[in-house]
Structure 1
Amino acid sequence: MLSEVGAWLGATSMELAARNTINALGAHGKRIEWWSQPRRTTCLFDDTGLRAAADARDGRVAFDYYYGNGVVEGHRFAGFHSNAELGWLADVGLARYVEDMHTVLSRELPDPNIRRAKAFCGGTSDGGLVAGAFAAWDFGGGEENAGYNQCAAFLGIDSLISTDPLALQSVPALREFAGLGGGLSYQAQVAALHAGILPVSFTGIPYVEPRFFTLLAVRGAAAHYAPDEETDLHRRLPSDWIDEISTRLAFAGTYADLFGGGNALRDYRFTNTALLGMLLGDHTLNIGPMQFGLGVLDGGPVTAKTVPWPDNPDSPLSAVTGRGPRMVPTDKTALYTWRDYDQLDGIDYAPPGSEVVSIHDLATTLAAAPGDSLGFLDPYFAPRFLIDIQSAFTGTRTGDLAPIRFGDRIRQRPVLTTIGTKSWIGTAAPLFPSDTIYLDNYTHTDVNMAATHQFDSRPEAVSTTITDFILRNLP
C-alpha cells in the first residue's frame, strides 16, 4: 500500500490507519507493507527541538528551543524560513509529487507485473488527488507505462481519485475552452510564483503558517510527556501578531473575543492535554478542515461559540467551522481537563460513539521528530500544489500538467472512495461516485488517526473498509 499524505501532514500522520490496516489484514492471514509517502518539504523542518524533548521527556524543552531562544547541544534555532529563502518551492507541485511517487514504486517494486497485481495506491485528502493524477499520468514509453497500469487498484480516503471531477474532458467544446482559458491562467500563476508576486509557502499567513504548525507539534509533545500537568505554554509564547491572529481564529467564542482580544486563550487554565484538544478538537476548534473528533473539554463550565456563526450541522457553512457544536470555557479559575473519545457519558452535545480519535494517540504522533519517522506535520507545504490541482480539475493540460493524458482509464481499475459523515469534504459529495462509502462520525482528519478500539466494540471503519477492498481485489 503506497499512500500519499494530505496537505500540511507528514508520514507519521497515517500511522494509526496503517497499523490498524496491517493488523486487520493479518487477521485474514495476509501480510502487507504500508508506505506513507511525505513531500520533500518535510525536510525543511528543524527537528532538533522535538528530538531534545524526546530525550528529556519534556515538551517544554522543545518550546524553549523554538520560541524561547533555548540551546540544544550548542545549537540555537535559526528561525523559520522566509519566502525569500524558499524560491525553489515554486517548482514543488503536483508533477514533483507524482514523479516521486513513481520513483518510489518503480524502485521498490521493479517488476511491473508485481506492481499491477499487488500495489495498492492512494491517499487521504490531497494525497488522494495526487494518486488520481498518478493514475492519469503519462510516464513515457507508451500507455503500458501509464500510471493506472502501475497499480492493482486505487484508494481515495476522504478524497477523490480523479483529474476531471467536472467531466470537462468528456465534452470536446468544453475541453478546448477550459484548456485554453485555464492554461493561460495557470501559466500566469506559475510565473507569479517565480517572480515572487505570489508566495511560495504559507509563511506569514495566520493558522497555516510554519510557526503555528510547529507550535502544534510542541503542544503535542507536552501533552504526550505530561498529559495531566497544568501548562503555561499558552502564556509563555512571545508576542507575535501572526500567533495572536492564529490563536484568536482557533479559539474565539464571540466576535468580541475575535476582534477585541477579550477572553483570550491565555486567560484560562488548561492541562497539556486540554490545551491540545482546545486547538484541534471538533467541539472546540473554529476551523473545520483541521478538526479531530477526539473528545471534549472537562473540569469547568463551557458555552456554545457563535463566531463566525452559530453551529448548524445541516448548513453548507459547516464545511468552514465543522458540524459542532463548538464550545469555549467560561471560568477563568477552573483547571480545564479533557475527556477522551471513549469517556463521553453524560455529554449531551457529544454522546458516546460520536468521536473516534484518542487525543493520547494524537499527542504521541505529534511528538514524533521528522528525523525519526518523517514527522506528523509538514509546516512548509507549498501553495504550488494547490495551483496545480485546481488547474488540472478545470481542464489545464499544458506545462507541468501536460502528462495528464489518461484520466478516463482509471475506470479500468478498482477504485475505493470514502467520505467521513462529519468531514467538510462532504459538501462536494455530488462530485463523488455513486458507490462512495460513508464513514460514520469521521471528520476529514479522523481518517488518519482513528483509535484501534472503538465505542461498543465497533470495528474501526477506515482499516476495515480498506481491508475489505484489498481482499476483494487481490489476485
Structure 2
Amino acid sequence: MEHMGNTWSRVLLAATAIATALPTAAVAAPPPSGVVERVETPWVSNAAADVPRWAGVTQSEVRLKVPLSAKYPAHPAECDWITYLRFRSADGPSDPQQADAVYVGMPGIFEGASAFDIIGRNIVSEARSRGRHVEVWGVDRRSNCLEDRTGIEAAKTARDARVAMDYYFRGREIGGRRFEDFRGTVPSTFRIDLHGKDAFQRQLGLEQTLLDYYAVIADGFPDPAQRTKKVVCGGHSLGGILTGLFAAWDFDGDRRTTADAGVNQCAGFIAVDTFAVSRADRTLVPALSGVTRPFGRLAPGMESLIELPVINPEIMAILTGAAGNAYFNGDEESSLQREIPRTPRVREALRILFSRDLMHYVRSGRPDLTDLRLTSEAIFGLMLDDNSYNFSSIAQVSMGFPSGGPLAPKHFPLPNQLSLIPALRPLTGNLLGGGRLVVPTAPRTADGGGPLYGWHRLGSVPTNRYTNPAREFADLRQVARAFHEPPADFVEYYFPTKLAYESSTALLGLRPGALGRHLLHDDAAFRLPGLNLLAGEGPARVASGVRHPGRTVLLPAYKHIDPLTASPAQADGSAERSMVEATDFLLEVADG
C-alpha cells in the first residue's frame, strides 16, 4: 500500500510539472476605461411636483473625459467627453457599487440620454417602495457633443420657447454666444448629410460607441467582479441592438480570452422594444446582404450624419422648446405656432405633420398649424402624439388626445382605412404609425376668434373612434418635462452614418473590417438572464427571424416609446407594467 501511495504521488507530481510547463490559455484583463476625469453635477427637478412618488429619486449629470484617439480629425473639445444621466434613491448609497443593481441604458436612434428620465424615475421609485435601492443610467452617445443647448437652457430659465427660437433661427446672442448653424442645411425628403463640417463624425461607428459604453460601466464599477453581479445592460430600440453587439464584442480581439468580452461586463440584459439583444437569424443574411453590401461601399464616402424629413435638428430644437412651453404654460393659448421660423426644412416637416391627405399636402402652401388657435400643450401633443404624428411609429407617444374643436381623420401619408385590413396592419400601424390619426380643422377667424384647441391628458381621455383611456399610457406634462428639463436632450440631433451602417450589417451577421476582429462571441447575450419589454404596436413586433434571450413581456397597445414614457400610475389606477417588470428583473439579478 505504501508502494502504491508513493507511485501515485510521483504520478501526481509529474502531471503537475507537465501541466505547469504546457502553454495555458491567456486570461486577458478587461481594457482600461480610458476615463481621465469625472464630473458629476446634480440638477434641480420639478418631477416630484407632478408625481409625488418621484420625491425619493435624485438625479445628476455625469461627464467622463475620455479623449478620442489620434486617428480622429480635429473636433470640438466637448467631443472628448461622454455624458450619462444618473437616477438613484435619494436615501440610498452614493456609491453605485453599494446599490442593489444598476441598469445602464443605451438610447435608440435619434434619442438622447433623457429618454430614460421617466422610466428611470419609475424603476428607482418602484424599487424604493420595496425597500431596495437601484439606479438607472441613461447614456448619451458621443455624437450628441455637437448639440448647442444654449438656446434651450435660456428658454428653460425664461419659461418661453421664443428665446430658443430667437437664438437658433434669428441670430440673437445669449451670454455673448451666437449660434453657428445646424449641421446640414439642404432640405429634402430623405437626405444623408453631405455638409461635412465635422469630418471626425465619419469615424464614429460601432467600435467607438461600444468603447464608450464600456467606459461608463467600468468607471462606475472598477471591479469587474461587481459588474457581473450588479450591472444590467440594455437599451431601447437601436440601443438594444447595440447592447447585443456589446455582449458579442471582444475588446482585445482574441477569442481565447474572455474577461474582456462585453458579455462579461454584465449580469443580465433588459431590452425595451427592440429587435434583439442578440442578432438576426442567419436566414435573413442572403436576402439582405445584397442591399447592405452596396451601402457599405458607399458609406465610407458619405459625410457623417443621417437625417429624415420630420426628424431633423431644426424640428428637434422647436419640439424641445415647445415642450418647455407645454410644461410651464400648458392650457394657455400659445403664439408659438405663428412664430416658428419658416426655414425650408421646418416648412416641409410641418406640411407633412399637418396635411390631411395627399391632395392637401400637394396644394398646401403652408401648414394649417399656423392658422389654428392652440394651447401650448396642444402644440406639443400634435407634434408627438400617436393620434397625430404620422411619419413613423418610432416617434409616437400615447399621451392623450386633442380637445376643444372639430377634428378630421388624417389620411396622410396613407389612408386610415388601410389599418382596417389585418394583413396590412403591421405595416400601416406598427411601422408607419397610421390608422388612428386626426388633424384639427377649425381655423382662426378673421377677428382672432374660433375654437381654442387644448389637450386631454392621461385620466381625462374620452372614448371615441380613435382612442380610449386603455390606449393612453403617458401624461403629456410628464413627457414635456422630460423633453426640456434635463441637461441632456431627449432627442438626438445628429446620428452618425457609420454607426447606422455597421450596426445594421453586424445585426445581419456580416463582419467587415473591425467587426470581424471584435464580434467574436455570437449569441453571448443568451448566456445571461434577460427581459424583453415588447410594445404591442411597436415596430419590433413585426420582426421575423429574430430571437430574444430571456423572457419576453408583451405590452398590449403600447407604441414604440411608450415603455420609456409611461406614467407610473395608469388611468385605471394600476401600476405601469414595464416599470414593475423591469424592477422585478433588476432585483432578481441582485438577489442572484
User: What's the TM-score, normalizing by structure 2?
Assistant: 0.74
Which of 437, 453, 464 aligns to 1:326? It is: 437
Residue aligning to 1:293: 398
Q: Are the aligned partners of 2:161 and 2:336 in contact in 1 as well (CA < 8 Å)?
A: no
Which of 493, 501, 525 aligns to 1:387? It is: 501
Cα distance per residue 1:328-377 (max 9 Å; x no partner): 11111321111112211344421112101111111112213xxx532222
Between 1:284-293 and 1:377-386, the stretch displaced more is: 377-386
- Number of equivalences: 460
Shift of 1:152: 0.6
Residue aligning to 2:317: 214
Higher RCO structure, 1 or 2 (CA under 8 Å, sep 6+): 1
Shift of 1:52: 1.0
Q: List aligned pairs for 1:32-181, cutoff 5 A.
A: 32-82=134-184, 83-140=195-252, 142-167=257-282
The DSSP-based 3-state class of the residue aligned with 1:72 is coil
Distance 1:114 1:442, change over 3 A: same
Amino acid across the alignment from 1:388: E
Distance 1:405 1:224, change over 3 A: same
Shift of 1:136: 0.4
Q: Does 1:192 align with 2:301?
A: yes
Shift of 1:408: 2.1
Q: List aligned pairs for 1:299-448, cutoff 5 A.
A: 299-311=404-416, 312=419, 314=422, 315=425, 316-332=427-443, 333-368=450-485, 373-402=487-516, 403-428=518-543, 431-433=546-548, 435-448=551-564
Residue aligning to 1:196: none
Shift of 1:121: 0.3
Query: For 1:179 and 1:355, how far apart are their aligned partners in 2?
Result: 36
Q: Does 1:250 align with 2:366?
A: no
Cα distance per residue 1:71-128 (max 9 Å; x no partner): 2223222221232212211111222111111111122211111111111000011111
Amino acid across the alignment from 2:131: G
Between 1:431-440 and 1:53-62, the stretch displaced more is: 431-440
Which of 557, 577, 580 aligns to 1:464? It is: 580
Query: For 1:183 and 1:71, how far apart are their aligned partners in 2?
Result: 44
Q: Which has the higher strand share?
A: 2
Q: Are the aligned partners of 1:356 and 1:441 in contact in 2 as well (CA < 8 Å)?
A: no
Q: Are the aligned partners of 2:278 and 2:547 in contact in 1 as well (CA < 8 Å)?
A: no
Query: For 2:557 and 2:289, how far apart are their aligned partners in 1?
Result: 42
Cα distance per residue 1:38-83 (max 9 Å; x no partner): 1112121111111111221222211221123222223222221232
Shift of 1:212: 1.4
Query: For 1:306 and 1:376, how far apart are their aligned partners in 2?
Result: 28
Q: Does 1:24 align with 2:126?
A: yes
Residue aligning to 2:338: 235
**Runs of at least 5 residues in structure 1 that lack an aligned partner in the other structure:** 194-198
Amino acid across the alignment from 2:263: Y
Distance 1:282 1:179, change over 3 A: closer
Cα distance per residue 1:218-254 (max 9 Å; x no partner): 1112212211222222222333221111112222111
Residue aligning to 2:13: none
Highest Rg: 1 or 2?
A: 2
Query: For 2:293 and 2:359, how far apart are their aligned partners in 1?
Result: 43
Cα distance per residue 1:196-235 (max 9 Å; x no partner): xxx42135x4212211111111111221221122222222
Query: For 2:337 and 2:296, how far apart are their aligned partners in 1?
Result: 43
Q: Which has the higher helix share?
A: 1
Shift of 1:163: 4.3
Cα distance per residue 1:142-165 (max 9 Å; x no partner): 123211111110111101444421
User: What's the TM-score, normalizing by structure 1?
Assistant: 0.91
Query: For 2:155 and 2:221, how far apart are their aligned partners in 1?
Result: 37
Amino acid across the alignment from 1:143: T
Query: For 1:347 and 1:179, how far apart are their aligned partners in 2?
Result: 41
The DSSP-based 3-state class of the residue aligned with 1:99 is helix
Q: Are the aligned partners of 1:154 and 1:161 in contact in 2 as well (CA < 8 Å)?
A: no
Q: Are the aligned partners of 2:398 and 2:473 in contact in 1 as well (CA < 8 Å)?
A: yes
Query: For 1:202 and 1:33, how far apart are their aligned partners in 2?
Result: 32
Query: For 2:234 and 2:347, how far apart are their aligned partners in 1?
Result: 37
Shift of 1:319: 3.0
Residue aligning to 1:272: 376
Amino acid across the alignment from 1:139: F
**Root-mean-square deviation over aligned CA pairs:** 2.3
Distance 1:163 1:382, change over 3 A: same
Query: For 1:254 and 1:343, how far apart are their aligned partners in 2?
Result: 29
Cα distance per residue 1:18-56 (max 9 Å; x no partner): 110011112222211211111112121111111111221
Q: Are the aligned partners of 2:116 and 2:137 in contact in 1 as well (CA < 8 Å)?
A: no
Amino acid across the alignment from 1:246: A
Q: Percent identity?
A: 28
**Runs of at least 5 residues in structure 2 that lack an aligned partner in the other structure:** 1-102, 185-194, 444-449
